Amino acid sequence: MPDWLALYYDRPMEITHGEGRHVWDAEGNRYLDFFGGILTTMTAHALPEVTKAVAEQAGRILHTSTLYLDRHMVELAERVAALSGIPDARVFFTTSGTEANDAALLLATTYRRSNQVLALRNSYHGRSFSAVGITGNSAWSPTSLSPLQTLYVHGGVRSRGPYAHLDDDAFTAACVADLRDMLGQTRGGVAALIAEPVQGVGGFTSGPDGLLAAFREVLDAHGILWISDEVQTGWGRTGDHFWGWQAHDRAGPPDMLTFAKGIGNGMSVGGVVARAEVMNCLDANSISTFGGSPVTMAAAQANLNHLLEHDLQGNARRVGGLLLERLRAAVAGLDVVREVRGRGLMIGLELVRPGTDEPSPEAASLVLEAAREGGLLIGKGGSHLGSVLRIAPPLSLTVAEAEEGAGILQRALETAQTRLE
Ligand code: PLP
């Protein structure tokens, strides 16, 4: 294993199996999974419909390649195109979010004949050469030798930075002015703006609703495409909306949308949705050997059925809303927590050294260890080396489980606060 591999805990944990919102480790300990794998378990662990679909498809044929059609792939592509909101949409399946963003960047730069891309500061879009190259934070970007020229604009982080003191309208106006200024200084055309509606790895942070709509007016004037990276925010995770871009609804749908993580419920499914005109701009065949593989497509179909039939987006809104309130109340006396934010089942707690405004990765690590002891798994992230706790359980989380997890987390936060005082 490479030395930089990031394991969360001092004592590595081996997960052996899961069910519903719980997983078990090799020592037999049971945990409430408040991170849903890594936002990958969208509906539930070991969801029977998904397990059955995988087993049935595996019994028929494991792989056919994209040289042939597969019923699950065609059906899923049609459903995702219809759900995307993008007119005349086409879908290309990949095996990860990174690859989906790579494909979107390839399409945008080819379509626009430009290798310049706009991205938000503090963004994360994956691990390939081009995705790492546009990532807006050097902590996640081990190289600066990007094949793309990236221009970074403000807008992803609301509570810190030069515009933090402004109200929402003034914040939006400042970010738009920043975008205009950046474009004014740029020679030649820009291919696209890529943005996460809520930044994921960056610590579950976003600009005000409508910000991307305001950006869109500027982008349209320059013919610049808008790529919405929905790898974390898609499929109802944010509760109020099926896609994150819908929080900016005056903007209408993006030109392209990328997805991955939750749709496969743990199977490797990613993809890009684009207007036909953009998708078809590549004149050479571009095949993904394993993208759209039948077993993964069968899993995604069953998972999507479950999500829609059980209105898990509505559940994310309701249970996520309760959990947000519960956590805000829980941290009222704890100054190790600077902010509790989020929407739906995508909730972030920003931690600081008590009594200061200084981001505290140390506090986050203490909380993670204490939560583990209490039987709760959570994630961390944020631009300051992991000072934000990230909560993103499967979308089927019950009220009782939300309450149980909040209790464990409250005690873990109290432990961290006491240790750091
Ligand atoms: N885009 C976003 C917003 C992500 O959060 C991630 C992964 O965390 C990616 C892209 C990359 O996806 P993957 O890890 O599946 O390649």
Cα separation, 334 vs 317, in Å, equals: 26
For residue 209, what pLDDT is reported?
A: 96
Q: What is the mean pLDDT of residues 121-129?
A: 93
pTM, entire model? 0.97
**Does pLDDT of 143 surpass 70?**
no
User: Within 13 Å of residue 307, how many CA atoms lie on the same side as its CB?
Assistant: 25
Q: What is the mean pLDDT of residues 367-377?
A: 98
Q: What is the mean pLDDT of residues 215-233?
A: 97
> If we measure between CA atoms, which residue out of 262, 210, 260 comes closest to residue 237?
262
Structure tokens at 164: 């933090």
**Does pLDDT of 321 surpass 80?**
yes
**Does pLDDT of 67 surpass 90?**
no
Q: Which residues contact 181 (CB under 8 A, 6 or more apart)?
A: none
For residue 384, what pLDDT is reported?
A: 62
Amino acid identity for residue 164 in this structure: A
Please work out whether the CB of residue 363 comes within 6 Å of at least one atom of ligand 1: no
Minimum mean pLDDT range among 78-87, 129-138, 223-232, 241-250: 129-138
> If we measure between CA atoms, which residue out of 156, 157, 155, 131 comes closest to residue 142?
131
> If we measure between CA atoms, which residue out of 417, 397, 409, 259 comes closest to residue 317?
397
> For a substitution probing ligand 1, which of 125, 132, 235, 263 has the most ligand atoms within 8 Å of its CB?
125
For residue 287, what pLDDT is reported?
A: 76
pLDDT band at 153 (very low <50, low <70, confident <90, very high): very high
Cα separation, 45 vs 30, in Å, equals: 13
Burial class (CB in 10 A: 0-12, 13-18, 19+), 244: buried
Please work out whether the CB of residue 36 comes within 6 Å of at least one atom of ligand 1: no
Structure tokens at 102: 């790579």
Kindly give the distance from the C-alpha atom of residue 418 to the centroid of ligand 1, in angstroms, as a whole number.
Answer: 35
SS3 222: helix
**Does pLDDT of 15 surpass 90?**
yes
Angle at the Cα of 137 from the Cα atoms of 132 and 141, rounded to 5 degrees: 30
**Does pLDDT of 80 surpass 80?**
yes
> If we measure between CA atoms, which residue out of 196, 240, 157, 201 comes closest to residue 38?
201
Please work out whether the CB of residue 43 comes within 6 Å of at least one atom of ligand 1: no
ipTM, interface predicted TM-score of the complex: 0.99
**Does pLDDT of 3 surpass 70?**
no
Minimum mean pLDDT range among 26-35, 173-182, 376-385: 376-385
pLDDT band at 249 (very low <50, low <70, confident <90, very high): confident
Kindly give the distance from the C-alpha atom of residue 289 to the centroid of ligand 1, in angstroms, as a whole number.
Answer: 20
For residue 140, what pLDDT is reported?
A: 74
With the C-alpha atoms ordered 121, 87, 234, 209, is the resulting torsion angle positive or negative?
positive
CB-CB neighbours of 280 under 10 Å = 12
pLDDT band at 285 (very low <50, low <70, confident <90, very high): low
